[in-house]
Structure 1
């Protein structure tokens, strides 16, 4: 992402795009998609810094008009957050790493090790790579405006297990709060450590937490909203705060603006027209073309039609075009190009309509 593209993203996130400004296209990409797309081994992608750099550079050069969120994502899959709490991480040659739950009894939460984001496990390695690679990325004409982290419920589920955590909310809420509080502190510390490592170009963060979508509204208000708000409140008010949840957003949607988020990237389950009707101009909507059945597995014609459907339902306001979540493994270049083509068609048609409207008024 170039500095100019980041400026465009910020304007869109703050709902400051003018009628005449084109709608941008932003995609969440990294290890779920990039190694397979480029035909490289996941081990090599994570562990060969030169290959990692050239992989990202190739993607930026191949799709120069797309805003990647976050750009140059320095991570080891989802390993960083659970690893510093003591979870065992398994690596695979053809898939992202996976974690093994370590908290068999939530009452044993006090046995989890004290964490140190600067020196522990995959966080330490990630921060080192950020410092090592930062200047080279900036010298390429790109910028590094975003830190990224998994959210508190997502991280809690890494160490406890999703089903177990959902049961804890009902059967042992005090311990559940204690675990979520720990994971909230970890999230804040992790984002701040990344901001220090990446330097003054950082002006926002991406928070990914699908597990929030597994609870009802009452549990969202008790176990999610206060912690999400705490994370947003821990950073400058003018930072861009992006929330990703491609599970369900039905029970939390109206509350997310009050948590402090500017941008919502959500899944395929909820139509953009319904989302827009519920939050109006309180959030910028980053979505939500079906990423798997359409963008990964459909034809370019199907992708083109689905993209136009999302754009038309958005009415061209308060939207950053994207897929409903991250780019799915196996997504081909021609389907990404089809999204770009549909957006170009829509932006051109929108510009003509504005021009004609202005002409009629003169």
Structure 2
């Protein structure tokens, strides 16, 4: 329903924890990482983490190592190196408003932070690939892309994503379920060949925006349909999406973003069965 395969994380705390971020794990809420950068001057002193030893990263790898025998016994493999994207991590380290403001006010400092985060991410993704040789894909999650205009993204995002996606893997997967009309035409230039988006933009529109060069993974509304609707309504909405597509090539039916809490097995079965049996 979401990422094809198996992955391990501690939510948005995963990578910021390696930079020393204090992390909260509320009982009934998502994990949260606190800021470590209070001003642009702090960036000079920000040390690059060692992904083998720092923060929660060793625990992420060990969870996968412990699960690996059962995964492979079931006939599957670990296929993706997974991380939050560089803009996302930078925004957690500094605060979203402060980071975006810094892009406008002191762009050199913004690039310095992006350079450090990207260098760290390269080593983190490389470590995952070395640990699990079956990996043949990179998966980055970065919603901050959706809050940037095209000129800003081309300056502060594109070069760093291109560097990360230049790794020698077959699948280069991006998740951004914030607004994506600005970034969609740039996805091929980024190196992305698989994209999971939010449900506000239709798959036919995204096919046009990406010039049919990127496989699209979506686009059922996760909360209001997959979680809250009946199995019959899930089937109807799924058929409506499939009917809307002039071309079903380069489409992986899923939900438009992550699977939310509270999704019933009946709704998942309804979705899967509808896709499997769909005929025009």
TM-score w.r.t. structure 1 length?
0.74
1:254-276: CA deviations, max 9, x gaps?
11111111101000111111111
Cα distance between partner residues in 1 of 2:104 and 2:200 = 26
**Separation of aligned partners in 1, 2:264 and 2:149:** 36
Match of 1:277 in 2: 208
1:103 counterpart (37, 42, 49): 37
Distance of 1:95 and 1:182 partners within structure 2: 30
Deviation at 1:282, TM superposition (A): 0.5
Structure 1 segments unaligned to the other structure (5+ residues) = 1-26, 29-68, 351-362
Question: How much is the aligned-residue C-alpha RMSD, in angstroms?
Answer: 1.5
Cα shift at 1:215: 0.2
Q: Distance in 2 between matches of 1:133 and 1:302?
A: 35
The equivalent of 1:92 in structure 2 is: 26
Map 1:181-330 onto structure 2 (within 5 A): 181-198=115-132, 200-233=133-166, 235-236=167-168, 238-314=169-245, 315-330=247-262
- Rg: which structure is higher? 1
Partners of 2:277 and 2:62 in 1: CA distance: 43
- Alpha-carbon distance in 1 for matches of 2:4, 2:123: 18
Relative contact order, higher structure (CA 8 A, sep 6+): 1
Structure 1 contact 70–206 (Cα < 8 Å) conserved: no
Note if contact 2:7-2:78 (Cα within 8 Å) is conserved in structure 1. Answer: no
Tell me, yes or no, if the aligned pair for 2:139 and 2:173 is still in contact at 8 Å.
yes
> Any unmatched runs of 5+ in structure 2?
none
Counting only pairs closer than 5 Å after superposition, residues 1-362 of structure 1 correspond to structure 2 as 27-28=1-2, 69-198=3-132, 200-233=133-166, 235-236=167-168, 238-314=169-245, 315-346=247-278, 349-350=279-280
* 1:95 match: secondary structure: coil
Structure 2 length normalisation: TM-score?
0.95
- The separation in 2 between residues aligned to 1:160 and 1:70, in whole angstroms, is 31
Question: What is the number of residues matched between the two proteins?
Answer: 279
User: By how many angstroms is 1:170 displaced?
Assistant: 0.7
- Compare 220-229 and 109-118 and name the one that shifted more: 109-118
Q: Higher helix proportion, which one?
A: 1
